[in-house]
Amino acid sequence: MDRPSLRQIGNIFFRVGNVTFGSGAASTVLLREEIVENRGWLGKHQFALCYALARVTPGTNLYALFSASGWYLRGWPGAIVALVAASLPASMVVILLTLGYLAIYTSRLGQAAVVGAMAAVVGTIIAGAWQLIQPDVLSRNWFRTLVLVAGSMILSMGFGVSPIPVVGLAALTGFFWQDS
């Protein structure tokens, strides 16, 4: 296996982390192509382990995958370079978009645009939540899924329980009530 330089790692993760929108799936496929298929920097088994562990790492799964891959390639410096290259440019775009919001919000048409965008983003949140649970709702585990979703909504909205205890309770539920 070739050992890439930090500059090469930066180049790859810059491209992979800043060209896809809203979902980690496309970035994951792209990363696998670049570092496993095209360059042979990482073996298939190593990439699969990085992917599996990224799913169980707190925070953004995609960044955990980048961190793990970078660490395999060049240790801690590789992990840091991979994460910074993948996340910093996109974060700058977010700041520019925020500035854009602040700039246009005072104009009549700007306000209309913001109202439209905000309504749509509420739609994306609702659709995103559905997409998270859809495979489980439509599976044999539908009752467990229903209990978890309804339970978390009732606890947070009905009783004002903060999200962290709700997540903790869900983890305990999942630990003792395994999916079939």
Partner 1 sequence: MSLLLLYFLFLKATVTSFNGPSSLPILREDLVVRRQILTDRQLNAAVVAGRCAPGPMGIYVVSVGYFIAGLPGAFAGWLAMITPAFLIVPLLRYVGNSAEHPRVRSTLQAVVIASAGLILGSAKPLAIDAISGLLPLGILIGSIALLLTTKIETVWVIGGAAIFACLVKAAS
Q: How far is the CB of 37 from partner 1 (least distance, A)?
A: 21
CA distance 84 to 10: 8
Our CB check for partner 1 shows the closer of 40 and 116 to be: 116
Our CB check for partner 1 shows the closer of 41 and 87 to be: 87
HSE, CB side, 13 Å, CA atoms: give it for residue 17.
Answer: 29
Q: How far is the CB of 112 from partner 1 (least distance, A)?
A: 4
Our CB check for partner 1 shows the closer of 8 and 161 to be: 161
CA distance 163 to 169: 10
Instruction: For residue 39, count CB atoms less than 10 angstroms from its CB and return exposed for 0-12, middle for 13-18, buried for 19 or more.
Output: middle
Asked if residues 39 and 2 have their Cβ atoms less than 8 Å apart, the reply is: yes
Q: How far is the CB of 178 from partner 1 (least distance, A)?
A: 4
Q: How far is the CB of 105 from partner 1 (least distance, A)?
A: 8
Our CB check for partner 1 shows the closer of 43 and 174 to be: 174
